[in-house]
Structure 1
Amino acid sequence: MSDVIDYASRLTDAHSRKFETFSYLPRMTAEQIRRQVEYIVSKGWNPAIEHSEPEEASGAYWYMWKLPMFGETNVDQILNEAQLCHNQNPNNHVRLVGYDNFKQSQGASMVIYRAPGFE
């Protein structure tokens, strides 16, 4: 069996918390975020932007940034909304969600902007 790495993620240390699979990886570049949005659009999922204070981000409730963008296929418009959310909430984590209408669940969810000091 291979060695398993312990990621020191603790509820008592907000700076150590991880959110979804991508949070264990280095911060995504603008091009990588764009590709994720393109993937969500290509699957026909409805994109949505959410944000939360770092100390509350491990909970199930995140603030919705406007309504989900039902039927939106313009990648630039989706990225602009994510940037607006980040600009208006610079101390919050911002995540991108892709809602799958068929399965009635999230098809994708990832933090695309991390709050300062939480890299």
Structure 2
Amino acid sequence: MSEVMDYKSRLSDPASRKFETFSYLPAMGADEIRKQVEYLVKKGWNPAIEHIEPEYLMDSYWYMWKLPMFGETDVEKVLAEAEACHKANPDNHVRLIGYDNFSQSQGASMVIFRGKTV
């Protein structure tokens, strides 16, 4: 078995902080973000957009960008809202969430735009 790499995330170093599995990968491009939105819509999950300043990343509260898009199936509309949030808050992390009505929980949650780190 190969050795697991230790990521040295520290509260004192905002650039080192990780916020979910995808944060260990390179930032997603437009095509990857589109595929994630398509997946959420295909699953029937309700998309939502949230954002937060990087220095408050470790807090459990993120700001909601408008209301969740209940029943939205148009990928372009979801992408437009994500872009609008990112444009209005360029220094913030922006996250895409898919709410699953059946399990009444988040089916997916991922940061799609990374804010500036100190």
Query: TM-score when scaled to structure 2?
Result: 0.96
Counterpart secondary structure, 1:94: strand
Name structure 1 gaps, 5 residues minimum: none
TM-aligned CA distance change 1:106 to 1:19, over 3 Å? same
Q: Deviations over 1:57-98 (max 9, x none)?
A: 122100000000000000000000000000000110000000
Q: Which residue of 2 aligns with 1:83?
A: 83
Q: Which residue of 2 aligns with 1:43?
A: 43
% identity of equivalent residues: 69
Q: Displaced runs of 4+ in structure 1, greater than 2 A?
A: none
Q: Which residue of 2 aligns with 1:110?
A: 110
Report 1:12-91 matches (<5 A). Answer: 12-91=12-91
Q: Name the Cα RMSD after superposition.
A: 1.1
Question: How far apart are the structure 1 equivalents of 2:77 and 2:57?
Answer: 25
Q: Deviations over 1:32-74 (max 9, x none)?
A: 0000000000010000000000011122100000000000000
Query: TM-score when scaled to structure 1?
Result: 0.95
Aligned length in residues: 118
Name structure 2 gaps, 5 residues minimum: none
